[in-house]
Amino acid sequence: MTTDSIRHFRRIRDVSPDELRFIINKAIEIKQRPDAWSTALTGKTLAMLFQKTSTRTRFSFEVGMTQLGGHAIFAETRLTNIGIADLADEGLVISRYVDVIMARLKQSTDLMTLASASEVPVINGLDEKYHPAQALTDLMTIKEKLGRTADLKIVYVGIANNVSNSLAMAAVYSDAQFVLCVPEKDPDSDVPEHLAFLQESSRYSENPDIAEAVKDADVIYTDTWINLEYFTDPSFAEEKERRINTFTPYQVNEEMLALTGKDTLVMHCLPAHKGYEVNETVLYTPNSVVFDQAENRLHAQKALLLWLLNKL
Ligand code: CP
Ligand code: NVA
């Protein structure tokens, strides 16, 4: 069987702007009328492969499959033979058992290898370069809260990383204005061709000046300055200290919100490191939609699963 025609969701650019809009609108509809899809994936199975920890991605995909009438298998890759065998071979075998795969692998190159070998759609559940399922949810949440995405100003503050890469692409696809307000970029998340694509759009800009960047922002978004697997890693302690010093002026707090001149939404993919990239007061103010955003992972991913399996 040829695997060339299989639709994957490895990154936002695997779908067109129209397709992204369609999935987002369906996600909102599914959230309102979940019962209408309660048997849509009866008999279907999702394999969930994790090399990294997760709360939201794991629970929302697994519950999503249950609510669609299907089934999900959770596997930590260290308890499979993926680490000691050829990844493509193992991916191909898994794809012969299941209807769709979601994988959180540390390396984007491994996710690409898995997708190339798989005979069923592969969803990226986060790698060091992208987090497309998160960005899908983020644009759904913005549309749900503000009624539209076009011409809104979405400002990402903190460190440029996997989350900001996918968010930027989804925002530009959704006709929003995206501003990256960062003092530096996580080198692991660098993808020159992704950046080149964004830089072609008049909707994408970078501005490290906080006051200028956040003025008139409809949304301020932030993420951890240190990726999950390094936060408590002793070998990363020195770099962690350096980053805290560099990024502290970029903390999302009341002073930053006061600079927008608007009733700005605060978003975060979670988990948050309170007192670092966001302070506790702002995380729990009414402007913060982080918990609705986290819930929406469930609804957005149900729409994504249905779309990839041609059930919408
Ligand atoms: N936002 C997100 O992907 O959360 P988890 O790491 O808990 O899955
Ligand atoms: N940037 C973070 C996001 C976690 C959801 C990480 O990669 O660990």
Give the sheet arrangement for strand 100-104, strand by strand.
71-76, 45-50, 100-104, 122-124
Three-state secondary-structure class, residue 123: strand
For ligand 1, residues with CB inside 6 Å are 54-57, 126, 134, 269-271
Amino acid at 243: R
- Choose the weakest-confidence range: 3-7, 60-64, 185-189, 227-231: 3-7
> Residue 20 and residue 170: Cα distance in Å, rounded?
8
Residue found under tokens 């890469």: 165
> If you measure from the C-alpha of residue 131 to the centroid of ligand 1, how many angstroms do you get, rounded to a whole number?
9
Ligand 1 midpoint to CA 52 (Å): 10
Percent of the chain with pLDDT over 70: 99
The torsion angles phi and psi of 304, rounded to 5 degrees, stand at: -65, -45
**For ligand 1, mutation pick of 48, 52, 57 (most atoms within 8 Å of CB):** 57
Residue range 11-59, pLDDT digits in tens: 999 999 999 999 999 999 999 999 999 999 999 999 999 999 999 999 9
Nearest CA to ligand 1 atom 7: 55
- Nearest bound ligand to the CA of residue 228: 2
What integer is the mean pLDDT of 75-83? 94
Pocket test for ligand 1, best of 226, 297, 298, 301 (most atoms within 8 A of CB): 297
| Residue 108 near ligand 2, beta carbon < 6 Å | no
pLDDT in tens, 195-221: 999 999 999 999 999 999 999 999 999
Query: Average of pLDDT values for 70-80?
Result: 97
What atom of ligand 1 comes closest to residue 133's alpha carbon?
3
3 has a pLDDT exceeding 80? no
Section 55-80 average pLDDT: 97
Q: How far is ligand 2, taken at its centre, from the CA of residue 165, in Å?
A: 12
Tokens found for residue 34? 């979940």
Question: What was the pLDDT predicted at 2?
Answer: 54
**Percent of the chain having pLDDT more than 90?**
97
Distance 261 CA to ligand 1 centre (A): 31
Fold of 133-294: Rossmann fold (3.40.50)
How many Å apart are CA 185 and CA 115, to the nearest integer?
27
CA atoms within 13 A on the CB side of 219: 31
271: preceding bond cis by omega (within 30 degrees)? yes
Pairing of the two strands 219-222 and 265-268 = parallel
Q: Packing angle between helix 87-97 and helix 108-117, nearest 10 degrees?
A: 50
pLDDT value of position 236: 95
Give burial (CB, 10 Å; 0-12/13-18/19+) of 31. Answer: middle
Q: Indicate whether residue 135 lines ligand 2 (CB < 6 A).
A: no
Q: How far apart are CA 61 and CA 48, in angstroms?
A: 8
Task: Round to whole Å and give the CA distance between 124 and 104.
Answer: 6
pLDDT digits over 226-277, tens only?
999 898 999 999 999 999 999 999 999 999 999 999 999 999 999 999 999 9
End-to-end CA distance of the chain: 24
Containing 213, the helix (H) or strand (E) segment is helix 210-214
pLDDT-derived band at 5 (thresholds 50, 70, 90) equals confident
Rounded mean pLDDT of the chain? 97
State how beta strands 100-104 and 71-76 pair: unpaired
**Cα dist from 216 to 140, 221, 256, whole Å:** 21, 14, 12
Confidence of residue 89 (pLDDT cuts 50, 70, 90): very high
In this predicted structure, the answer to whether residue 299 has a pLDDT above a threshold of 80 is: yes
| Cα-to-centroid distance, 49 and ligand 1 (Å) | 14
Distance (Å, whole) CA 238 – CA 209: 26
d(CA 69, CA 61): 13
Class in CATH terms, 3-130+296-305: alpha beta
- Tell me which DSSP letter residue 77 carries: G
Where exactly does CATH 3.40.50.1370 map onto the chain?
3-130+296-305, 133-294
The residue contributing the CA closest to ligand 2 atom 1 is 227
